[in-house]
Chains A and B, each alone.
Chain A
Amino acid sequence: GAVVSQHPSRVICKSGTSVKIECRSLDFQATTMFWYRQFPKQSLMLMATSNEGSKATYEQGVEKDKFLINHASLTLSTLTVTSAHPEDSSFYICSARDRGGENTGELFFGEGSRLTVL
């Protein structure tokens, strides 16, 4: 199957700093990528839909100024957690759909990035 890579897999930062997480589709082009957040023992909550070359679409309740999303190319989307605080500590997962794939339209997920804000 298609491969989506996330980096970093783990990051620890001090409160008040900004953290960037990258999501790359390695062997396909992804017009649309999705960013999810998962708290311990909870489900994946969709944060935003990232579209190549345009502004991201955020879900209700997600602060767009807090979680900056950039989808500059068909293979890369980035999530920047600005001025991170301990409550932002979570598991962030990206996913992407192969724009040209002849498949069920399944999303391919990255490995996830665990953010810990001290």
Chain B
Amino acid sequence: AQKITQTQPGMFVQEKEAVTLDCTYDTSDPSYGLFWYKQPSSGEMIFLIYQGSYDQQNATEGRYSLNFQKARKSANLVISASQLGDSAMYFCAMREEKGFQKLVFGTGTRLLVSP
């Protein structure tokens, strides 16, 4: 069974600083996908970044990068140059590549960016 762990209930960062949100996962499948989503107070889920288990390079999308360490089964999200609008809940998720390809979420980390 899949398992996603986010050990940081909350994180604080000052504007313009970088922050790392931790995510570890557990799966017996060799093929899987890892995602990060942002959920502001409005409730919508905003896709940030994707990493495939066979991808050789770490994914990057603008200010977001994913520090993928396959042997350690970690997929930390790095946000560079934090902005006030980055304050939100952040969820790490894993998709199994078999069957219905369900997406399973971690418990989330609430990020607060201060001026």
Where the two chains meet, the residues of A that have a C-beta atom closer than 8 Å to any C-beta of B are 1, 32, 34, 36, 42-46, 49, 51, 57, 91, 93, 95, 97, 104-109, 111-112, 114
Q: Answer yes or no: B43 CB below 8 A from chain A CBs.
A: yes
Classify chain B: how many residues form its interface, as a range.
Answer: 20 to 34
Instruction: Find out whether the CB atom of A95 lies under 8 angstroms from the CB atom of B45.
Output: yes
Instruction: Write out the residue numbers on chain B whose beta carbons fall within 8 Å of the beta carbon of A95.
Output: 45, 103
Instruction: Write out the residue numbers on chain B whose beta carbons fall within 8 Å of the beta carbon of A109.
Output: 37, 44-45
A57 to B108 CA separation, bound complex (whole angstroms): 25
Instruction: Write out the residue numbers on chain A whose beta carbons fall within 8 Å of the beta carbon of B52.
Output: 104
Contact with A along B75-115 (1 / 0, CB 8 A): 00000000000000001000100001111111110000000
Interface centre among A45, A93, A97, A105 (most CB of B within 10 A): A105
A93 to B37 CA separation, bound complex (whole angstroms): 14
CB distance from A109 to the nearest CB of B (A): 4
Inter-chain pairs besides A43-B105, A93-B43, A108-B47, 4 sampled, C-beta below 8 Å: A104-B52, A106-B50, A109-B44, A112-B45
Q: Answer yes or no: B35 CB below 8 A from chain A CBs.
A: yes
Where the two chains meet, the residues of B that have a C-beta atom closer than 8 Å to any C-beta of A are 33, 35, 37, 42-45, 47, 50, 52, 91, 95, 100-108
Instruction: Write out the residue numbers on chain B whose beta carbons fall within 8 Å of the beta carbon of A57.
Output: 100
Instruction: Find out whether the CB atom of A46 lies under 8 angstroms from the CB atom of B108.
Output: no
A104 to B49 CA separation, bound complex (whole angstroms): 10
Instruction: Find out whether the CB atom of A112 lies under 8 angstroms from the CB atom of B44.
Output: yes
Taking A42-B107, A43-B105, A43-B107 as contacts, is the C-beta distance between A105 and B95 under 8 angstroms? yes
A10 to B35 CA separation, bound complex (whole angstroms): 27
Instruction: Find out whether the CB atom of A114 lies under 8 angstroms from the CB atom of B43.
Output: yes
A114 to B102 CA separation, bound complex (whole angstroms): 23
Query: For residue A107, which residue of chain B has the nearest CB?
Result: B103
